[in-house]
Amino acid sequence: MPLNVAVQMDPIERINVRGDSTFALLLEAQARGHALSYYTPDRLALRDGHLFTTAQPLKVRDTLGDHFSLGAAKQVELKSFDVVLLRQDPPFDLAYISTTHMLERVQPGTLVVNDPANVRNAPEKVFVTEFPDLMPPTLVTRDLEAIKAFRAEHGDIVMKPLYGHGGGAVFRLTREDLNFGSLYDMFAVTFREPWVVQAFLPAVKEGDKRIILVDGEFAGAINRVPAPDDLRSNMVRGGAAKATDLSVRERHICERLGPALRERGLLFVGIDVIGGFLTEINVTSPTGIRAVKNVGGPDIAALIWDKIEAKRQI
Ligand SMILES: Nc1ncnc2c1ncn2[C@@H]1O[C@H](COP(=O)(O)OP(=O)(O)O)[C@@H](O)[C@H]1O
Ligand SMILES: [Mg+2]
């Protein structure tokens, strides 16, 4: 049965057609005969407990420069959709959090992927702390004395924002680095939140592995190897995507996380593993579907739609 699907995303004219996971999901949905509607988060309106948006029918094409067409804008109640894809990109700020509160109003009649309350409760670098045996030595704080003690213990450390993304403001400090004081001051004025202080993992030069789980099960992976002159493996920072397999330890990580993700309605999740250590659980708007397929991996968009269709038939 065709589903009535809405996608909540950033402006579609700006996406990277070749790399965007949301776009891969839309192409697959359309190929399966589902009807697509499009809106940006700023079009949501919660009126007397009923959630509305101004949506446009959407057609997508895998053609650079001509990847979509939109029909006439119409005000619709969100509960008229079978499925809403929550796919806007971070920042994970109060604007993002507000949309998760609003989307909760259409559940359980409408399936929201990923589940908005659980997206809100699982910021990528905070969720990991539920699995302390899987993560590297990690401190979340803005307390100078706590950071000094952690640095004295571990020597070589990384400092990065708690709600950062795309490799923004990720710094390595060796034991001898005299920039620590200034960097501390800069973080303290830049961020209101605590931040992450983590043991530096030398294995990063072999890559930061993105492993995708669909409804709690391993679906595919890609290794991202940093450029020789950068710490960061993020593809937007020049990291190179390489085909990869899972180690025994990485399979164990997937098995540990699977039930927690399934329980919370986190259907499409990307976890990041450096040298066997879990550093992030991405639930807001994970990416990697197209990169996995480009290196000969499985069609994860198809796996995700298989799951969504199965859930809608219950
Ligand atoms: N503890 C660490 N040890 C070594 N490299 C790290 C560490 N933490 C982050 N990095 C590097 O920085 C990149 C970005 O950090 P990450 O924690 O993934 O934040 P973001 O959300 O910005 O992607 C990683 O892909 C990795 O290359
Ligand atoms: Mg990352």
For ligand 1, whether the C-beta of 272 sits within 6 Å is yes
| pLDDT, mean of residues 48-69 | 97
Q: Please name the residues in contact with 313: beta carbons below 8 A apart, sequence gap of 6 or more.
A: 1
pLDDT exceeds cutoff 90 at 190: yes
SS3 of 143, please?
coil
Ligand 1 atom nearest the C-alpha of 279 is: 17
Mutation probe of ligand 1 site: the residue of 128, 140, 204 with most atoms within 8 A of C-beta: 204
Q: What percent of the chain has pLDDT over 70?
A: 100
Pick the residue whose CA is nearest to atom 19 on ligand 1. Answer: 167
Give the E-state strand segments of 118-230 in sequence order: 138-141, 157-161, 171-173, 195-199, 208-214, 217-225
* C-beta of 278 in contact with ligand 1 (< 6 A): no
The model's pLDDT over 97-107, given as tens digits with 9 standing for 90+, comes to 999 999 999 99
Q: Does 138 contact ligand 1 (Cβ within 6 A)?
A: no
Per-residue pLDDT band at 314 (split at 50, 70, 90): low
CA gap 132, 256 in Å, rounded: 12
Distance in Å, CA 272 to ligand 1 centroid: 9
Per-residue pLDDT, averaged over 159-169, amounts to 96
Q: How confident is the model at residue 75 (pLDDT cuts 50, 70, 90)?
A: very high
Q: In this structure, which ligand is nearest to the CA of 284?
A: 1
Ligand that comes closest to the CA of residue 237:
1
From the alpha carbon of 230, which atom of ligand 1 is closest?
Answer: 27
pLDDT at res. 313: 86
